[in-house]
Amino acid sequence: MSKLNQVIIPTTCLYSLQAVDFVINDKKILSDISIDLEPGVITGIIGPSGAGKSTLLSLLNKLLSPTGGEIFFDGRNLSEYPSQELRKLVGLVQQRPHLFAGTVRYNLEYGPKIWKIKYSDEDLLELMSKVALPADFLDREIDGLSGGEQQRVSFARSLANQPCVLLLDEPTSALDIVSSEIIENTIKQLAKEGMKIIIVTHSLQQTQDLTEQLLFLKDGCFIEKTSTIDFFKKYDEEEIRTFFKSKTEEE
Amino acid sequence: MAFIDIFNDIWSTLSNVDILIRIALSSVMLLIIVILSLWQNVGMETMFLWSFFRGFIQIVLMGSILTLIFDISKIWLLYIVLISMCVFAAFSISRRYRYPKMFLIELLAITSSSIFILTLVMFSGVPAAFEGIIPYPPQGEFIIPMGSMVISNTMVITSIVLERTKSDILKAKGSVEAALALGDSSTNAVRTILRDSYKAGLMPSTSRVAILGIVSIPGLMSGMIIGGVPPVEAAVYQIVIFLMILSSSFPASIIANALFTRQFFTKEHQFDLVFLNQLAKIEEEKNAQIKKNKKKMDKLKEKLRRKNKK
């Protein structure tokens, strides 16, 4: 596959958040968050719903800007980092697929086209194989795909930019077990290949299976950063269950 | 002075015997309606008489003011009339669609494109080519009605386009954000949405052109034929008008969309949450108003029902 990003993957500090606030409509979503994130491990962002996890994720690829404080990516202040350039390096997979109307091919080519790069059919098939999509899906309309297949296309669409960091916002919350497994395997494989992954999740099993370190948020505040193993040692089962309660379960 | 002139004008026209006969003949028709209403117990007799009397006075007054405007041959005066029409159009749209900066956006879009097209037509060979139908050099008689058609249609079409753009961006917020997350610029991320909005706005006028002559003879052309213009010339004139409407509305829509969609995003290619919040509030108010009106209507209906029972 033709190389899109010739960027050196950050080695010392992936992200550094310094006293980050996010306020919208006089409502504090995140307050005074300071974290340093090292590269090299899959990081999970966990916490009860309403903790501001998705907002934090959006701050990392500048879909939102903090209303206070500063965020550094690879040593550069995000407020000076050109948004489009940053988002090429930092991919995002949303909770729902939100595909563009058209074929799978159109969706996969969308990102590279922004950078005036044309992928060959082999390149596209290679992308699809990463998320276990069969080759004959390439020219199918997205309307005919199942929810799980659409989310896999959405995953592949983000990978098409060849990002070096991948942000995942509950990527499997709307999926069946089979599709979830495929996506989890993809995440593991990508991590092995050196991709930096930050995942927001409500799944206890996913947290244990995938992540190595955890950021624990509650009510917009940063509680702690620990290794996954320590986290599960520290809290008892009942407490942990309340942390992972998702919105849908509460309703 | 001008007012006295107007009344003198009206008086001299109305005291003409021919006109009096025409009015009398029309009154016979009014009489028929009134008799029918009495016979069928519809109870609309006074309403018929009053509305026709009122309408008659209003339109005669309007007509005489029009004669004043039509006599304008000074170009700069014509432009002032046209621009004030644009201002009024923008104002009435901004009252109906209360989105932020709507007045300015519409004013810029409508004024720039319709005045441009009208200027182009006025000073190209078009009026000269219609010698005998259109006075040349152009006068109010020709510019004002033409301008009103162009401006009012541009107003309606741009408002359809903007409304469509707004609802489509809100509907497709997720995929617009997905495009932004891939590194797309905000202008490019809404491109397909804008394309659809142009289709929605321009389609009705375009299909009206497509069925011209087969299904419909537009009011303007009918009027000209009744007024004695040869039908073929009237037809050509009608086509010119449609072309003017489309060639004013399309660029106006592009300008309006560009200014309007800019508000949705920040310079950093993010959704502008403050603006989205404003929109949501406006939408809420609108829905509350609709609910209120509905309640009022229900109450009225209830009252009427009770009255009827009594």
Give yes or no for residue A7 having a pLDDT over 80.
no
Instruction: Tell me whether A7 touches chain B (CB under 8 Å).
Output: no
Q: Could you give the strand order of the β-sheet that contains A221-227, starting from the edge strand earlier in sequence?
A: A90-93, A165-169, A196-200, A43-46, A213-218, A221-227
User: What is the reported pLDDT for A248?
Assistant: 47
Residues 6+ apart with CB under 8 A from B101: B259, B263
Q: What is the ipTM of this complex?
A: 0.91
Among partner residues A25, A83, A91, which is closest to B269 by beta-carbon distance? A83
Report the pLDDT averaged over residues B178-182: 96
- In angstroms, the CA B266 to CA B264 distance is 7
Write the residue in A25, A92, A100 that is nearest to B277 by C-beta. A25
A101 interfaces chain B, CB cutoff of 8 Å: yes
For residue A32, give Cα distances in angstroms to A14, A29, B67, B304: 19, 10, 71, 61
pLDDT-derived band at A251, boundaries 50, 70, 90: very low
Query: For B228-234, what is the mean pLDDT?
Result: 84
Please check the confidence at residue A142 and state whether its pLDDT lies above 70: yes
Task: Compute φ and ψ for A217, nearest 5 degrees.
Answer: -110, 150
| Mean pLDDT along residues B198-214 | 88
Mark which residues 168-207 of B lie under 8 Å from A by CB. Answer: 174-175, 177-185, 188, 192
Q: Count of A–B CB contacts within 8 Å?
A: 68
Are A216 and A53 in contact, with CB atoms under 8 Å apart?
Answer: no
Tell me the C-alpha distance between B12 and B16, whole Å.
7
Backbone torsions φ then ψ of A93, nearest 5 degrees:
-110, 120
Taking the C-alpha atoms of residue A38 and residue A130, their distance in angstroms, rounded to an integer, is 26
| Local structure of residue A7 (DSSP, 8 states) | P
Judged against a pLDDT cut of 60, whether residue B41 lies above it is answered with yes
Distance from CA of A56 to the nearest CA of B (A): 15
Interface of A with B in 192-231 (CB under 8 A): none
Q: How much is the pLDDT for A138?
A: 93
Mean pLDDT score of chain B:
87
Task: Give the chain A residue whose CA is nearest to the CA of B270.
Answer: A63
Least confident piece of the model among B94-108, B130-144, B185-199: B130-144
Write out chain A residues lying below 8 Å of B182, CB-based: 87-88, 91, 110-111, 114, 157-158, 161
Residue A12 has pLDDT above 70, yes or no: no
Average pLDDT score over residue span B35-55: 88
Task: Give the pLDDT confidence of A238-248 residue by residue, as tens digits.
Answer: 777 777 765 44
B141: pLDDT strictly greater than 80: no
DSSP E strands: which ranges in chain A?
Answer: 15-24, 27-37, 43-46, 68-73, 76-77, 90-93, 165-169, 196-200, 213-218, 221-227
Q: Do A84 and B269 touch (CB under 8 A)?
A: yes
Residue of A5, A58, A83 best to disrupt the B interface, most CBs of B under 10 A: A83
- What would the mean pLDDT of B51-56 be, rounded to a whole number? 89
Distance separating alpha carbons of residues A201 and A218, to the nearest angstrom = 14
CA B264 – CA B275 distance, rounded (Å): 6
* Stretch among A85-99, B142-156, B183-197, B202-216 having the lowest mean pLDDT: B202-216
168-187 in A: which are within 8 Å (CB) of B?
Answer: none
Mean pLDDT, residues A160-179 taken together: 89
- Mean pLDDT for A108-133 is 91
pLDDT for res B135: 60
Give the pLDDT score at B70.
75
State the CB neighbour count (10 A cutoff) for residue B123: 12
Structural domain boundaries of chain A?
40-64+80-250
Distance from CA of A153 to the nearest CA of B (A): 12
In the Cβ-directed half-sphere of B262, how many Cα atoms lie within 13 Å? 10
Angle made by CA atoms B229, B235, B237, in degrees to the nearest 5: 80
* Extents of the domains making up chain B: 2-68, 74-271, 275-310
| Average pLDDT, rounded, for chain A | 87
Percentage of the residues of chain B whose pLDDT score is greater than 70:
94
Chain A interface test: which of B169, B173, B175, B182 (most A C-beta within 10 Å) = B182
B163 confidence band (pLDDT: 50, 70, 90): very high
- Which of A68-72, A74-78, B63-67, B99-103 is least confident? B63-67
What integer pLDDT is reported at residue B296 of this predicted model? Answer: 86
**What value does the mean pLDDT take over residues B164-175?**
95
Q: Does A41 touch chain B if contact means CB atoms closer than 8 Å?
A: no
Other Cβ atoms less than 10 A from the Cβ of A66: the count is 22
- pLDDT > 90: what percent of chain B? 42
pLDDT in the model for residue A1 = 54
Phi, psi of A45 (to 5 degrees): -110, 120
The closest alpha carbon to A12, from A29, A30, A37, A34, belongs to A37
Work out the number of other CB atoms within 10 angstroms of the CB of residue B208. 14
Cβ of A98 under 8 Å from any chain B Cβ? yes
Q: What is the reported pLDDT for A168?
A: 94
Average pLDDT over residues B168-189: 95
The answer to whether B208 and B216 have CB atoms below 8 angstroms apart is yes
A70 three-class SS = strand
Distances (CA, A) of B198 to A12, B204, B205, B246: 50, 11, 12, 11
Tens digit of pLDDT for each residue in A21-67? 999 888 889 999 898 888 778 999 988 888 889 999 999 999 999 99
Higher pLDDT, B233 or B102: B102
pLDDT digits (tens, 9 = 90+) for A184-215: 999 999 988 888 899 998 888 888 888 989 89
CB contact under 8 A, B179 and A65: no
d(CA A83, nearest CA chain B) in Å: 6
Mean pLDDT of A131-155: 92
A119 touching chain B per CB within 8 A: no
| Chain A environment of B196 (Cβ under 8 Å) | none
Looking at the domain A40-64+80-250, which fold is it?
A: Rossmann fold (3.40.50)
How far apart are the CA of A92 and the nearest CA of chain B, in angstroms? 6
DSSP string, B135-173: -SS--HHHHHHHHHHHHHHHHHHHHHHHHHHHHHHHHTH
